[in-house]
Amino acid sequence: MASGGGVHATLGLTIPASTDWPQVSFSAKEIDFSEWKGDLLIVVVSKEDLSKDENSKFINSTLKKLDGLLNGVLGEASTEEDFKGKAGQSMVLRLPGFGFRRLGVVGLGRDITSTVAASYQGIGETVGAIAKAVQANSAAIFLASVQDISEGSKLVAASAIASGVVLGLYEDNRYKSESKKPLLKSVDIIGLGSGEDIDKRLEKSNAVCSGIIFAKELVNSPANVLTPAILAEEASQVASMYSDVFTAKILNEEQCKELKMGSYLGVAAASSNPPRFIHLCYRPPNGDVKTKIAIVGKGLTFDSGGYNIKTGPGCSIEIMKFDMGGSAAAFGAAKVIGQIKPPGVEVHFIVAACENMISGTGMRPGDIVTASNGKTIEVNNTDAEGRLTLADALVYACNQGVEKIVDLATLTGACIVALGPSIAGIFTPCDELAKEITTASEVTGEKFWRMPLDDSYWESMKSGVADMVNSGGRQGGAILAALFLKQFVDEKVQWMHIDVAGPVWNDKKHIATGFGVSTLVEWVLSNSSQV
């Protein structure tokens, strides 16, 4: 699996190869780009930077100097290649006889003063892809209009570029019979500052990348490898790796019965792979805690839909390994928090992991299950199962004495219809918590949009024979799902539900994105004594 050790496939004899994550050393330097020597020199340009005067010479002073150094080659090439500096656009020139073997030009897309962290990360990903393609061992990156960036933005730019490079280099080849390893070992970031502050940012970005890659590998792993027990094993390994600040508690089916988790166990009943309830707890090194928070992730390692089986075009049953994307984000964030070790905050990472399958022991439409808070649920749709597992997980989280809970779940197709594939929907009755997550996302560049949580919609979730049904129909489906979860949260606890059904998976590339990890980390840090 993601950690590469001690895992045996339950089906198909498939055992993933060991993980080979990019190991890149980043340095922030204040030198002139013309002094740098190595394999690949990258200049980042906006459309405005490429403007030329009446003599077809660059107006931008940096590009004018670079073009002079190259005897006009850059100006000629940009015209011949019709290079416009669009986002993601790149051009590579081989330049024998200079201190660098190749020059890469990467487009920023718009004026550098108006970009966000996501733009800088995109630049880094392009650089990583170029370095991989040309098999560079060393690279340097500088911005043509670095003088237009504020000092605070320089730190953001440097860390986002560094993150992008690592993520651009990374490729999940664990299930391929042949793969190439990236050669890039060192990257110098020029002109964005130097010293302790930027070094700390770069160190943090490296930690966040490790969490994002971990989350990607969890989601990418097929259900015949990543069973609930293996997901629990992976989480336990995170706790073991950072045992100075983490403890792990894994509950089996019998222990969950003792806690009366009927809603969760109803979903798990049909699978031959037993459920695992996973609880990681982070406590700061010095023991002082001012805030207790919880991150709850949906952990369906495969979702067939149950007796309401997923059928027909668009049902996406073939990618339902991704239905544990919320738990992957939670455990990815845990891995980062274990490295950063923020003071003053206690964090509970909670996942009710299981499979939603079909068998004679399985939950049927019309069955009634009882959650651990005593509320009864008529299951009118076995494919609305994620909320049933989260119900008991949220009750458990509240019982840990936390003040705030954020849950993440690939919960509804309705949210993808509403917001598309790259924006997560957030639902909360708490304006303060909404602001915290929104502020965190502004740092990371991940996209969230607050959705309404109208209690009047709850009327359609009433049951004639139980306290509620688990599905209220197609209209407002994402809102109804959030209202269902609200029934299992203590009113004294600030709570937010995040529907990540769209952004955790990249349909074009057929791979996981690692969405949510970086924003969760920023949220935890905002609740720590570190700020």
> Among 21, 107, 98, 22, which residue's Cα sits nearest to residue 63?
107
H helices of 93-195, in order, are 117-134, 151-169
Of 102, 201, 276, 387, the catalytic one is: 387
- What residues does 360 pair with on adjacent strands? none
Integer Cα distance of 170 and 132 in angstroms: 9
Can you tell me the distance from the alpha carbon of 414 to that of 424, in angstroms, rounded to the nearest whole number?
A: 11
Q: Is 27 helix (H, G, I), strand (E, B) or coil?
A: strand
Q: Are 237 and 3 in contact (CB under 8 A)?
A: yes
Phi, psi of 350 (to 5 degrees): -125, 130
Of 47, 110, 283, 310, which one is the catalytic site residue?
A: 310
For 125-140, letters b (16+ CB in 10 Å) and e give bbbbbbbbebebebbb
**Contact (Cβ atoms closer than 8 angstroms) between residue 296 and residue 393:** yes
Place of tokens 């020029």: 190
Region label for 109, one of left (φ > 0), alpha (ψ between -120 and 50) or beta (otherwise): left
Strand partners, 25: 186
- Which single residue is written with the structure tokens 């496939």? 9
Token couple for 57: 């010479």
Listing DSSP states for 224-268 in one string gives TTS-HHHHHHHHHHHHHHTTTTEEEEEE-HHHHHHTT-HHHHHHH
**Per the structure block, which two tokens stand in for 149?**
């960036």
Tell me if residue 311 falls in helix, strand or coil. coil
Give Dmax over CA atoms of the chain in angstroms: 82
* Nearest-angstrom CA–CA distance, 69 and 51: 18
Active site residue 387: yes
Has 101 been annotated as catalytic? Answer: no
Residues facing 406 on adjacent strands: 295, 496
DSSP secondary structure string for all residues of 31-88: --GGG--EEEEEEEE-TGGG-B-TTS-BSSHHHHHHHHHTTTHHHHHHHHTT----TT
Long-range contacts of 70-79 (CB under 8 A, 24+ apart): 70/95, 70/98, 70/103, 74/103, 74/105, 78/50, 78/105
Task: Please tell me what DSSP assigns to residue 324.
Answer: G
CA distance 437 to 190: 32
Catalytic residue positions, numbered: 310, 387
